[in-house]
Amino acid sequence: MKNNTINKKEIEKFSRIAEEWWNPEGKFKPLHKFNPVRIEYIKENILKDFYLEKKEKPLKGIKILDVGCGGGLLSEPLCRLGAEVTGVDASEKNIEVAKIHAKKMNLKIDYFCISPEKMKVSQKFDVILNMEIVEHVEDINLFLECCTNLLKKDGIMFVATINKTLKSYIFAIIGAEYILRWLPIGTHDWEKFVKPDELTEILKKNNLTLTKLDGVKFNILSNKWGLDSDTSVNYISKFSKN
């Protein structure tokens, strides 16, 4: 069994464009467009699962680990909602960008250049985010096992990724990379996409139960991403630790 989950090629690929993270019209434009639906989904589900009130800082006291945090696109809004956020990424350049931007925004976020299997924590997390990351790791089984070890009992894990279907190959690779040029060519490898039932099986072995599964779809007319019942391309899921 491999003892690390880092795919060097993937890290190099994202490190090369790290300075683009906070440019809404740059190479991460799709993530900027995707972000509002992700933030809302995470926030609403945390409020519901932890019986929190909707107030100015609704996530106050919630410890979140953002795995594969990149430049901090999710870490920052969640910190603004009151959460205690730790962001980790295997790319030093990503972490550097994230730290500089958080400082500029006067936000307290703990950022570390580390992968989950190397992490040692005194206190486990209430929530773990694996958003658009599992399709870029070297060993998904080991990666998710290590993430689960960092999660509290009754904690929740969010996983957003791309389904392994013919439709996802057409839309996420041919469409998004080659035709629309939303993403740099080579961003995704279809072989690394994962079906929801495969993801559920892996996490079941780690005492995690699927409690929510939704598709995420882009609406060309409104130019926005939204939740959808169709999980055949992008999907977002929530798991609870038993």
Length of the chain: 242
Instruction: Answer with the residue of higher pLDDT: 54 or 74.
Output: 74
The CATH number of domain 8-241 is 1.10.1370.40 = no
Q: Is 133 helix (H, G, I), strand (E, B) or coil?
A: coil
- The predicted pLDDT at position 184 comes to 84
pLDDT of residue 102: 98
pTM, two decimal places: 0.94
pLDDT tens, 64-90? 999 999 999 999 999 999 999 999 999
CA distance 14 to 155: 29
**Distance between CA atoms of 118 and 110, rounded to whole angstroms?**
16
**3 state SS of 163:** coil
Task: Classify the C-alpha dihedral 136-139-144-147 as positive or negative.
Answer: negative
Lowest mean pLDDT among 90-94, 217-221, 229-233: 217-221
What single string gives the DSSP state of each residue in 48-62? HHTT---SSSTTTT-
Residue 145 is predicted with a pLDDT of 98
Q: Which helix (H) or strand (E) holds 31?
A: helix 29-49
152 or 184: which leads in pLDDT? 152
Domain boundaries defined on the chain = 8-241
State the pLDDT at residue 80: 98
Q: What is the largest CA-CA distance in the chain?
A: 48
Contact between 241 and 208 (Cβ < 8 Å): yes
212: left (phi over 0), alpha (psi -120 to 50) or beta: beta
Mean pLDDT rounded to a whole number for the chain = 95
Query: What average pLDDT does the segment 224-237 reach?
Result: 97
Q: Looking at residue 1, what is its pLDDT?
A: 41
